[in-house]
Amino acid sequence: MKRAVFPGSFDPLTLGHKDIIDRALPLFDEIIIAIGTNSSKKYMFTLEQRIAFIKKTYKGVEKIKVDTYQGLTIDYCKKVNSDYILRGLRNPADFEFEKAIAHTNRKMSKIETVFLLTSADTSYISSSIVRDILRNKGDVSLFVPKAVLTK
């Protein structure tokens, strides 16, 4: 079984994340959307809300699983028997950052990182921009799935 882990904080899930997940679905038998937890990080949305956003967005899609983890992503991948980490790339800065992590992960394990370029119409969307719009009472309906709007 080709299983990929798509790790992130998903605070919140954006249309950029959704673009990557949707386009990866034909490539894998299962995609685990793995919400990394970090007790020292301040999240806008609770873990329960973030899980609900993802589950509601992918309700009925059997290939999608949602889970949480702490620690190294490669340790989580080993735990769930995944040989692949899925990552999205928006720009050259993302590539440089993700490349270093992918090389490190590959050196420490046999887990491959699969990169997908975001679509042109979602490449500018980031969770941090969405959070900033929300903090300032702006409309994020063009940037997030409907499930996030029903928070």
Catalytic hit among 40, 41, 128, 137: 41
User: 41 catalytic, yes or no?
Assistant: yes
List 65, 90, 99, 106, catalytic entry = 90
In whole angstroms, give the CA distance from residue 59 to residue 55. Answer: 6
Is 90 annotated as catalytic? Answer: yes
- Whole-angstrom distance, CA of residue 49 vs CA of residue 34: 14
Q: Is 109 a catalytic residue?
A: no
User: Is 135 among the residues known to form the active site?
Assistant: no
Collapsing DSSP to helix, strand or coil, 33 comes out as: strand
SS3 7: strand
Catalytic residue among 18, 50, 87, 127: 127
Backbone CA torsion sign across 42, 46, 52, 53? negative
Active site residues: 17, 41, 90, 127
